[in-house]
Structure 1
Amino acid sequence: MDEEKPDGELYALLHLSPEASDEEIRRAYRQWAQVYHPDKHQTPQMQGIATESFQKIREAYEVLSDERKRKIYDLYGTEGLNSGMELGPKVKSVDEFLKEFEKLKKHRQEHKKLDQVHQSGSLVVNIALAENGPVLRGMTSATELQARISRKSSLVLGGNISIGQELGGGTLSALFRHQISSDADVEILAMAGLQSLVSIQTSRRLSSHATGGIGLSLSLINRTVNLTNSWTRQLSDTTEGSIQLVIGPETGVSVALQRHGERDLGSTELKVGPSGFGIMAQYHHEFSGHSQGRLTGRLGSTAVEVEIGGERRISSQSALAMFCTIGIHGISYKFRFSRGGQKFSVPILLTPALNPLIATGALLLPTSIYVLLKSYVIKPYFLRRKEVKRRERRSSSAAQIREARAKASKAQLLLKNVADRKRDRQLKNGGLVIKQAIYGSAHDLESNFDVSLEEEDNVPPPVLDVTTTLNFLVENEQLQLHDGVKKSGLIGFCDPCPGERKKLKVIYTFRNQQFEVVVGDFDELTIPDAAHLQAKNGSYG
Structure 2
Amino acid sequence: MNSSSMLEATYDSNQDLLNLVLSMVRQLSDRWMSQLAWVTGAQHGVMWTIRHSPAHEGGGLVDGGFDEKEDRRISLRERLVMFFSTMIFNTTCRLGSFDTSLSVSIQKGLGSSWQDGGISGGFAKLRAKAGIGMWDLEFSGGRNIIDWNTSLGAGVSLSVQGVTLRLKIGRGGHKISIPVLLSSETRPGLATVALSMLVGVAAFVQYQIVNPIQMAQLLEAKEEARRTRKVAMERSQSDAEASLELMTVAIERSREQEEEAMGLVITRALFGSAEAVKKATVEMESVKGREIELELVECADALQYLVQESKVLLYTSSKSSIQGVWDPTALEDDERALAVWYNFRGLPHYCIIDSYEPLEIPLRSHRLEIVQPATGSQ
TM-score of the two chains, using structure 1 as the length reference: 0.55
Shift in alpha-carbon separation, 1:323–1:460, aligned structure 2, 3 A: same
CA apart distance, 1:480: 1.2
Which position in structure 2 is the counterpart of 1:298?
129
8 A Cα contact 1:433 1:510, kept in partner: yes
Segments of 5+ residues of structure 1 without an aligned counterpart are: 1-207
| TM-fit CA distance, 1:363 | 1.9
Measured after TM superposition, the shift of residue 270 of structure 1 is: 0.7
SS of the residue corresponding to residue 128 of structure 2 reads strand
Q: What whole-Å deviation, never above 9, does each CA across 1:34-78 have from its counterpart, x for those lacking one? A: xxxxxxxxxxxxxxxxxxxxxxxxxxxxxxxxxxxxxxxxxxxxx
Q: Does 1:475 align with 2:268?
A: no
Distance 1:238 1:314 in 2: 23
Q: Tell whether the 8 Å contact from 2:158 to 2:191 is kept in structure 1 after alignment.
A: yes
Give, in whole Å, the separation in 2 of the partners of 1:244 and 1:341.
Answer: 20
Match of 2:38 among 245, 250, 253: 245
Q: How does 1:32-431 map to 2 (within 5 A)?
A: 208-262=1-55, 263-288=86-111, 289=113, 290-301=121-132, 303-312=134-143, 317=148, 320-336=152-168, 346-371=178-203, 374=206, 378-379=210-211, 382-383=214-215, 385-431=217-263
The aligned counterpart of 2:59 is none
CA, structure 1 residues 375+216, in 2 after alignment: closer, same or farther (shift >3 Å)?
Answer: closer
For structure 2, list consecutive stretches of 5 or more residues without a partner in the other structure: 56-85, 114-120, 373-378
1:472 Cα offset (Å): 1.2
CA contact (8 A) 1:296 1:307 kept: yes
Within 1, Cα distance between the matches of 2:163 and 2:307?
Answer: 68
Contact 1:402 1:460 in 2 (8 A): no
Q: Kindly state the Cα deviation for residue 286 of structure 1 after the two structures are TM-superposed.
A: 1.4
CA–CA distance in structure 2, aligned partners of residues 337 and 210 of structure 1: 32
How many Å separate the matches in 2 of 1:519 and 1:395? 28
Name the structure 2 match of 1:22.
none
Deviations 1:68-127 (A, max 9, x none): xxxxxxxxxxxxxxxxxxxxxxxxxxxxxxxxxxxxxxxxxxxxxxxxxxxxxxxxxxxx
For residue 279 of structure 2, give the secondary structure of its aligned residue in structure 1: coil
Is the 1:452–1:461 Cα contact (8 Å) retained in structure 2? no
Question: Hey, what's the Cα distance between the residues in 1 that align with 2:230 and 2:263?
Answer: 38
Query: Hey, what's the Cα distance between the residues in 1 that align with 2:241 and 2:175?
Result: 52
Q: Summarize deviations over 1:142-165 as a string: whole Å, max 9, x none.
A: xxxxxxxxxxxxxxxxxxxxxxxx
Structure whose alpha-carbon radius of gyration is higher = 1
Give 2:67's aligned residue.
none
Residue 296 of structure 2 corresponds to 463
In the alignment, is the contact (CA less than 8 A) between 1:238 and 1:259 conserved in 2? Answer: yes
Which residue matches 1:517?
A: 351
Match of 1:536 in 2: 370
Structure 1 residue 340: deviation in Å?
Answer: 8.0
Count of matched residue pairs: 329
**Structure 1 339/384 Cα, relative in aligned 2: closer, same or farther at 3 Å?**
farther
TM-score (norm 2): 0.77
- Distance change in 2, residues 1:339/1:252 (3 Å): closer
SS in 2 for 1:397: helix
Question: 2:169 and 2:103 mapped to 1: Cα distance?
Answer: 25
Q: Which residue does 1:8 correspond to in 2? A: none
Q: Which letter does structure 1 place at the counterpart of 2:319? A: K
Query: Is the 2:348–2:368 contact (alpha carbons within 8 Å) kept by the matching residues of 1?
Result: yes
Question: Shift of residue 440 of structure 1?
Answer: 0.4
Task: Tell me the C-alpha RMSD between the 2 structures.
Answer: 3.0
Give the superposition deviation at 1:399: 2.5
Instruction: Look up the equivalent residue of 1:272 and give its one-letter code.
Output: L
User: Contact 2:157–2:191 (CA<8 Å) still a contact in 1?
Assistant: no
What is aligned with 2:62? Answer: none
